[in-house]
Amino acid sequence: MSRFPRGFVENSSMEEPKIARRPSICFRPINPCDLERLEQIHRDIFPIRYESEFFQNVVNGGDIVSWAAVDRSRPDGHSEELIGFVTAKIVLARESEISDLIRYDSSKGEETLVYILTLGVVETYRKRGIAKLLINEVVKYASSIPVCRGVYLHVIAHNNPAIRLYKRMSFRCVRRLHGFYLINGQHFDSYLFVYFINGSRSPCSPLYVQNTNGVIVESWLHCRDLAVLVLNYMRSGIKTVASKLTINHEDKGSKWLKCKDNTRCLLPTQTKRNLASERVSSGYDYV
């Protein structure tokens, strides 16, 4: 039995052929001949183990859609070998974990989302924009589906390079999920990012917050929460104006108009002490 935990390999970086000065990066669907390479890259990149059923689903085109990145400039039969990949799945919007963030249009029928399952690029090809291009492939695919409302994904909270990439690509950080990942017996938080498409937008507003690593990310408030904030702000403003008006009337001794319906009216001759005692006895502030 290997002394290494499941989901890891002894040599974490695969030996890669030398990269051409100007690599020719192309994209194609993942197919059965990519199975071994796909499993190897997942073991090298991710600290969690994926079941064989997942890989079979990817390479055989089950309910998972996928894109492979290859470098056609590579020599010696490596031109079709995976150097990056992205896998995704179509889910029903109403059954997703962000169903409360989607504005539904009943006239369009059953609405969907595309969820990115895994995304990776081998180490020697990183920092070349390949991950961004792979995500663009997913966004283009999702945008071609009229009833699709967005693309979403999870990212572990300490993966700052990935977080910066998603924000640059206009993904919105809508939620922080505590303890979402369980890796080697330890829980890690996750951020949930969404890219809205086909005219969809969230019924929320961005709230910029700082995570534990000092990275500024966007959190989101539901409309009802935003309404509460606005209402509280307005109440605070009204109280401030009321306070100023009360002071002005007291200082200037301004006269009040006579009530037409003989209802109780404020007396313009009240002193500050009288007004204060009125407030205590009645429980209301006069404006």
pLDDT at 278: 37
- H helix runs in the chain, sequence order: 35-45, 52-59, 130-143, 160-168, 223-252, 272-282
> Can you state the percent helix, strand and coil of the chain, rounding each to 5?
35, 30, 40
Do residues 195 and 150 touch, judged by C-beta distance below 8 A? yes
Whole-model pTM: value is: 0.66
pLDDT at 264: 40
3-class DSSP state of 253: coil
Q: Which CATH architecture has domain 25-155?
A: 3-Layer(aba) Sandwich (3.40)
Closest-CA residue to 98 (of 167, 228, 161, 191): 191
Do residues 82 and 125 touch, judged by C-beta distance below 8 A? no
pLDDT at 47: 87
Q: Distance (Å, rounded) from C-alpha 234 to C-alpha 263?
A: 29
Mean pLDDT by groups of 10 residues along the chain of 287 residues: 26 50 89 95 91 95 93 85 96 90 72 96 92 97 95 95 95 95 93 90 50 48 50 64 55 43 39 36 30
pLDDT at 20: 61
